[in-house]
Chain A
Amino acid sequence: MMLEGISNDGAMPVLEAMIRFAGARQRLIAHNVANIDTPEFRPLDVSPREFQKALAAAVERRRSGGRVGDLQIEGGGNAPFEQTPDGQILLNPKPEPGNLLFHDRNNRDVERLMQANAENVTVFRVASDLLRSRTELMRSAIAERA
C-alpha cells in the first residue's frame, strides 16, 4: 500500500500516461513516414490535444478523490484511445482527412509528419525528464539524503 502510494502519487501517473501515449504515437508516425510513397495510403494519427484534454479531466477526477489511486483516462465512446486495466494506452487511429491528393492518391504531407515527429519526441523527453527528477527525488528521500 505504501509503495503504491509512492509510485502513484502526484504527477507521476500523469507523466507515465504521457510517456505511454507518446510511445504509442511514435509507431503511427513511423508508419505514416514508411508509407510516404504507398499509393492510396491515408496517414493515421491520434490528436495529442484530445488525449491531453482527457488526461486533464482524469487529473481533475483524481484530485477530487484525494490525489491517490489509479488515473482513469476516459476519452468517451468514440475516443481514438483507450486505457487498458494495466495502464497501457491503446490507440485507435482514424485516417486523416484533408490535404491535396497526389496522382497516386496518397495523402502525404511530409512537413506535418516531421513536425509531429519532433513534437512527439519533445513531449516524450519532457515527460521522461520530469519523471526522472521525481524518481531521483524519491530515491534521495529513501536514502535520507538532501
Chain B
Amino acid sequence: MYGALDISTGGMIAQRARLDAIAANIVNKDTFLDGAGKNNPFKRRVVHFAPGDPAATSPRAGDLGVHVARVEEVDSYTLKWEPNNPYADANGYVKYPDINPVFEQLNAYEAQRAYEANLAVAEATKAMTSQALRLIA
C-alpha cells in the first residue's frame, strides 16, 4: 500500500501538466507574434506520458506510476489571407497557430476525468491507510 499514494499523486501531476499545456494552447490560439514582434505563431504543446516515475518519493513507487516524458512543440501553422494586416507576407498571408479549440476542449475533458480517476484511487488508499491505523489506535 505504501507507494500507492505516491503513484496516484504522480498521475495527478501528469494530468495537471497536460491541462496546463491545453490551457496554454487555448489561450494562445490567436497568438501570431513572437516575443520579438515577428510573425512566428505559437506552437501547439502536446504532453507525452511514459510509465514509471523518477520523481516518486517512495522507493516502491519508482518503477510504477507515470511521468511526463516530453512536451512536444508541434511545428505547424495555418495561413490566413489578411492583406491589410501589417504582418502579412508579400502574398497577403499571415501565419496563425494550428490550434483547434474544440479538440483542445475534448482533451481537457479527458485530462479532467483522468485526474478524477487518480483522485478516487488516492482517496481509496487514504481510506485503507486510516483503516490500518485503526488497528493500533
A124-145 vs B: 1/0 string, CB under 8 Å?
A: 1100110110010000000000
Given contacts A27-B60, A128-B134, contact A33 B121 (CB under 8 A): yes
CB nearest to B60 among chain A residues: A27
Among residues of A, the one whose C-beta sits closest to the C-beta of B134 is A132
| Closest chain A CB from B60 CB (angstroms) | 7
Number of interface residues of A (CB under 8 A): 32
The smallest beta-carbon distance between A135 and chain B, in angstroms, is 7
From A2-10, A17-25, A62-70, the one touching the partner chain is A17-25
Chain A residue at smallest Cβ distance from B122:
A30
**For B118, B122, B128, which residue has the most chain A Cβ atoms within 10 angstroms?**
B128
User: What is the bound-complex CA distance between A135 and B117, given in angstroms?
Assistant: 34
B14 interfacial by beta-carbon distance below 8 Å: yes
Cβ < 8 Å to B, chain A residues 66-118 = 110, 113-114, 117-118
User: B interface, by DSSP: helix, strand, loop or mixed?
Assistant: helix
B135 on interface, CB distance cutoff 8 Å: yes
Measured CB to CB, the closest approach of chain A to B48, in angstroms, equals 8
A93 and chain B: residue at smallest CB distance: B64
* Known A-B contacts A24-B1, A38-B66, A114-B117; A33 and B8 likewise in contact (beta carbons under 8 Å): yes
Q: How far does the alpha carbon of A124 sit from the alpha carbon of B4 in the complex, in Å? A: 14
Residue from B64, B117, B132 within 8 A of A110 (CB atoms): B117
Cα A105 to Cα B70 in complex, Å, equals 19
The answer to whether B110 has its CB under 8 Å from any CB of chain A is yes
* B55 CB within 8 Å of chain A: no
B41-77 contacts to A (CB < 8 Å)? 48-51, 53, 60-61, 64-66
User: What 1/0 mask marks residues of chain A from 22 to 48 whose CB sits below 8 Å from any chain B CB?
Assistant: 111011111101111111010000000
User: Counting CB contacts under 8 A, is B79 at the interface?
Assistant: no
- Residue A57 at the chain B interface, CB threshold 8 Å: no
A58 at the interface (CB under 8 A from B): no
Is B97 interfacial (CB 8 A cutoff)? no
* CB-based contact A30/B7 at 8 Å: yes
Identify which of A30, A39, A132 contacts B11 (C-beta below 8 A).
A30
Q: Is B127 an interface residue (CB 8 A)?
A: yes
- Which of A26, A36, A110, A114 contacts B4, CB < 8 Å? A26
> What 4 pairs between A and B have smallest CB-CB spacing?
A34-B11, A23-B1, A31-B64, A30-B7
Can you list 14 pairs linking A and B with CB atoms under 8 Å apart? A22-B128, A23-B4, A28-B64, A30-B8, A34-B10, A34-B14, A34-B66, A35-B49, A35-B66, A37-B111, A38-B50, A41-B51, A128-B131, A135-B135
